[in-house]
């Protein structure tokens, strides 16, 4: 499946949406990004002074990359990768941007990653929402569970999540969700979707969320 993907699929630009979730007090941090693409996000975190030491794990390496700027880079499959024991409790920030839905066993993988987070650290993640109204319309009205090149029904997505499943995934992996938000919650322009959600007292909220953004901490 992956060999037919355009290379731009793996190596998107800097994930500013995830960087914006990092508390402003975090400076000079030890940062791990799983699925780091070409390393652009880690590179920007260094430029911003948020990261002092960066570690990246990426299965599909890019020819045009920032790997030389990453302190520790591993080309490997996160589901098979064994982290050195020295990395336990080592990371102030761990980033998983659009990774979890690609995993065969996201539950075991997240459980493996959680101990790497420092006591006061933050795990930042993004996960598509299968309950998004356009996806449901395709499935329920058109009767078409059609896989696509990208998006929620991306042909390389192996797992699908609603809000409840996202919460269960994190809570059962040694993590506590501090913030669960989305791009829809951060829209500044009052769109039709915004007003529909408003007049229905939030009942339609989850149907307008394309992707959940999560900030989590390690359980005591």
pLDDT reported for residue 64 = 82
Split at pLDDT 50, 70, 90, the class of 11 is: low
Between 3 and 69, name the one with better pLDDT.
69
CB contact at 8 A, 46 and 72: no
Which of 75, 154, 170, 72 is closest to 122 using CA atoms? 170
Would you state the pLDDT for residue 190? 81
Where are the chain's structural domains? 2-130+161-188+209-218
Cα-based torsion angle of the residue sequence 72, 154, 104, 164 in order, rounded to the nearest 10 degrees: 100
Helix (H) or strand (E) holding 43: helix 40-47
Instruction: Give the tokens for residue 3.
Output: 């060999």
Torsion of CA 13, 16, 45, 62, to 10 degrees: -20
pLDDT at 8: 52
The percent of residues above 70 in pLDDT, for the chain, comes to 95
Q: Are 209 and 133 in contact (CB under 8 A)?
A: no
Q: What is the mean pLDDT of residues 115-139?
A: 96
What tokens does 78 get? 């996160």
Least-confidence region, from 2-11, 111-120, 175-184: 2-11
Contact 86, 56 (CB under 8 A): no
**Which CATH fold would you assign to the domain 2-130+161-188+209-218?**
Rossmann fold (3.40.50)
Averaged pLDDT for residues 109-117? 97
Q: Is the pLDDT of residue 109 over 90?
A: yes
Taking the C-alpha atoms of residue 67 and residue 57, their distance in angstroms, rounded to an integer, is: 10
Residue 128 has pLDDT above 70, yes or no: yes
Contact, 70 vs 45, CB < 8 A? Answer: no
pLDDT of residue 22: 97
Q: Rounded mean pLDDT of the chain?
A: 92
pTM value > 0.85: yes
What band does 61 get if pLDDT is binned at 50, 70 and 90?
A: confident
Please say if the pLDDT value at position 24 is more than 80.
yes
The beta strand positions in 25-171, using DSSP E, are 29-34, 51-57, 72-74, 91-97, 117-128
| Mean predicted confidence (pLDDT) in 86-101 | 97
pLDDT band at 126 (very low <50, low <70, confident <90, very high): very high
pLDDT value, residue 205? 96
Q: What angle do CA 131, 137, 140 make, to 5 degrees?
A: 90
* 131-184 pLDDT, tens digit each: 999 999 999 999 999 899 889 999 999 999 999 999 999 999 999 999 999 999
């Amino acid at each position: 499946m992956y060999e037919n993907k355009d290379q731009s699929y793996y190596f998107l630009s800097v994930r500013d949406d995830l960087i914006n979730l990092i508390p402003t007090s975090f400076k000079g941090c030890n940062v791990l990004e799983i699925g780091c693409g070409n390393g652009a996000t880690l590179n920007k975190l260094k430029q911003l002074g948020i990261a002092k030491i960066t570690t990246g794990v990426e299965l599909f390496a890019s020819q045009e990359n920032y790997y030389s700027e990453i302190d520790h880079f591993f080309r490997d499959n996160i589901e098979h990768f064994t982290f050195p024991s020295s990395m336990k409790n080592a990371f102030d920030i761990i980033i998983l941007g659009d990774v979890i839905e690609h995993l065969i066993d996201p539950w075991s993988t997240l459980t493996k990653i959680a101990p790497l987070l420092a006591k006061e650290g933050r795990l930042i993640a993004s996960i598509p929402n299968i309950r998004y109204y356009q996806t449901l319309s395709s499935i329920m009205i058109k009767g078409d569970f059609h896989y696509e090149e990208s998006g929620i029904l991306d042909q390389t997505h192996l797992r699908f999540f609603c809000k409840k499943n996202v919460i269960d995934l994190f809570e059962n992996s040694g993590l506590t969700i501090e913030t669960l938000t989305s791009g829809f919650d951060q829209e500044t322009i009052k769109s039709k979707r915004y007003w529909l959600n408003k007049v229905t007292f939030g009942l339609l909220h989850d149907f307008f969320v394309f992707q959940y953004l999560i900030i989590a901490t390690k359980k005591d």
